[in-house]
Amino acid sequence: MTETRIAANGLLSRRHLLKAGAIGTLALPIMASEPWMKSPGQPTSEYGEPSRFARLQRERINAHPYGPAAGSSSTPLQLMNGTITPNSLHFERHHSGIPNIDPAQHHLTIFGMVERPLTFDYNDLLRYPMQSRVLFLECSGNSYQNTAPQAADMTCGELNGLVSSAEWTGVPLHYLLDEAGVKPSASWVIAEGADASGNNRSVPLSLALQDTMIALYQNGEPLRPAHGYPIRLLVPGCEGNLSIKWLRSLKLLDQAAHTREETSKYSDLMRDGVAGQFSLKMEVKSLITSPSGKMKLPEQGIYEISGLAWSGMGAIRGVEVSADSGATWSEAELQSEAGIYRAVRFRIPWRWTGQPAVLQSRALDSDGNLQPTRSDALRGHAPGLVYHYNGIQSWLVNEQGQVRNHYA
């Protein structure tokens, strides 16, 4: 059966590939001679551990110049599949380390422009009706290395791993705000965490009353300390810094607080000298996770191009893939449910012939936002852009099969 090419440089139809059976090898006789079949294995355990042959770890565990506690670590996207990030591999970003909070001594207070100031302890929150949602969370500084003049030779996770996806469970924030009685003149919620920096952000009340939740669980288990235990704010689709961890207070005001994290940090300096504030929603974005940076294709033949797409502006509607630096494009198959604020997995078969190739993906969301090229994403911003970069990620595959980060 002949392959059906759907774009230039080896992109193939998945349906025809599966019919052709082009990857498998002849089976050998099955023999019960492996050493692990000759004696009983390990007993059950109190908490599951990965195989020693598949023990993944976070990447780019960086200490910040301000001190070792103000650092980050990235999800190893190139070593994973599906859309859910295990809690142990979810990216981290801290401003003053991870506090060790006793939930019996921790409280959440809602005050300011409300009729009834309220305080909740951890057990109080567990009694409220909850909801579970699969949501992506992305640091607004994700992929900032790709704004540098030269392409950094890094893995996909090192470059783009400040994004993860999990099932979050908690109490819709509007339940608590309704109980407190928000005054008509209030328009902002100032959220503050209980870490040593007292990290705080201003959240528009309109966002707080929509999809925002007080998260208590991540992927079915209580939040881990690195992700906000015992409680955190979760503002879907927005820059991760808005989802304050170790949440201790919510203050209702009629204006933003203009905190450090929304003035000197997490603002957008433009070429005309104007700095934009409160660019809260994360833009449409996708990236190929395999093949990707610092991988090596062992031989010519068929490979699956796979990656992730997400948007804080709407649901992912489609992803296109190119193997010729954007000259031609083909629609990839979305293999996970596309919903608002959800990351989706895309796949497409590709035959590598040993010739150089530049692999790219671009996503389109339900609001009509199309992921821009690198040059378009940088246009209008001052040099040294750090936040909200969503340009197309390009991977160069050379004749030896080595994959490198590339500016197309």
C-alpha separations of 158 from 72, 146, 187 in Å: 11, 11, 38
Q: 133, 124, 80: which is closest to 103 by C-alpha?
A: 124
Phi and psi at residue 16, to the nearest 5°: -70, -30
User: What number of H helices and E strands is found in the chain?
Assistant: 6, 24
Cβ proximity of 316 and 324 under 8 Å? no
Kindly provide the b/e burial profile for residues 73-92, where b requires at least 16 CB atoms within 10 angstroms of the residue's own CB. bbbbbbbbeebbbebebbbb
Cβ proximity of 180 and 251 under 8 Å? no
Question: What is the pLDDT, as a whole number, of residue 119?
Answer: 98
The dihedral through the CA atoms of 211, 204, 238, 391 has a sign that is positive
Question: What is the pLDDT, as a whole number, of residue 20?
Answer: 56
pLDDT digits (tens, 9 = 90+) for 1-21: 345 666 778 888 776 666 655
Percent of the chain surpassing pLDDT 90? 75
Cβ proximity of 364 and 319 under 8 Å? yes
- Amino acid type, 310: W
- Amino acid type, 372: P
List of residues 6+ apart from 384 with CB closer than 8 A = 147, 269
- The three-class DSSP label of residue 268 is strand
- Residue by residue, pLDDT tens for the chain (408 residues) are 345 666 778 888 776 666 655 566 666 666 667 888 888 888 988 988 889 888 899 987 766 655 667 788 999 999 999 999 999 999 999 988 999 999 999 999 999 999 999 999 999 999 999 999 999 999 999 999 999 999 999 999 999 999 999 999 999 999 999 999 999 999 999 999 999 999 999 999 999 999 999 999 999 999 999 999 999 999 999 999 999 999 999 999 999 999 988 988 888 888 888 888 899 999 999 999 999 999 999 999 999 999 999 999 999 999 999 999 999 999 999 988 889 999 999 999 999 999 999 999 999 999 999 999 999 999 988 887 889 999 999 999 999 999 999 999
**Angle ∠(103,136,84) on CA atoms, nearest 5:** 85
Question: What is the pLDDT, as a whole number, of residue 35?
Answer: 84
- The three-class DSSP label of residue 378 is helix
- Cα(133)–Cα(398) distance, rounded to whole angstroms? 41
Q: Cα 288 from chain centroid?
A: 13
- Cα(210)–Cα(218) distance, rounded to whole angstroms? 20
Question: What is the pLDDT, as a whole number, of residue 385?
Answer: 83
- Cα(324)–Cα(321) distance, rounded to whole angstroms? 9
**Angle ∠(59,61,62) on CA atoms, nearest 5:** 135
pLDDT digits (tens, 9 = 90+) for 67-119: 667 788 999 999 999 999 999 999 999 988 999 999 999 999 999 999 999 99
* CA end-to-end distance (rounded Å), the chain: 34
Question: What is the pLDDT, as a whole number, of residue 1?
Answer: 36
Place of tokens 């599966």: 18
Domains of the chain (ranges plus CATH)?
93-273 (3.90.420.10), 285-406 (2.60.40.650)
- Amino acid type, 90: H
pTM of the model: 0.93
Question: What is the pLDDT, as a whole number, of residue 23?
Answer: 64
Q: 250, 289, 258: which is closest to 275 by C-alpha?
A: 258
Place of tokens 């010519």: 300
Question: What is the pLDDT, as a whole number, of residue 268?
Answer: 81
**Angle ∠(256,257,261) on CA atoms, nearest 5:** 105
Identify the bridge partners of residue 12 per DSSP, sorted by sequence position: 5
User: Following CA atoms 97, 103, 106, 108 in sequence, which dihedral angle do they give, to the nearest 10 degrees?
Assistant: 100
Question: What is the pLDDT, as a whole number, of residue 162?
Answer: 97
Strands of the 403-406 sheet, one edge to the other = 330-331, 316-322, 357-365, 394-397, 403-406
Cβ proximity of 85 and 230 under 8 Å? no
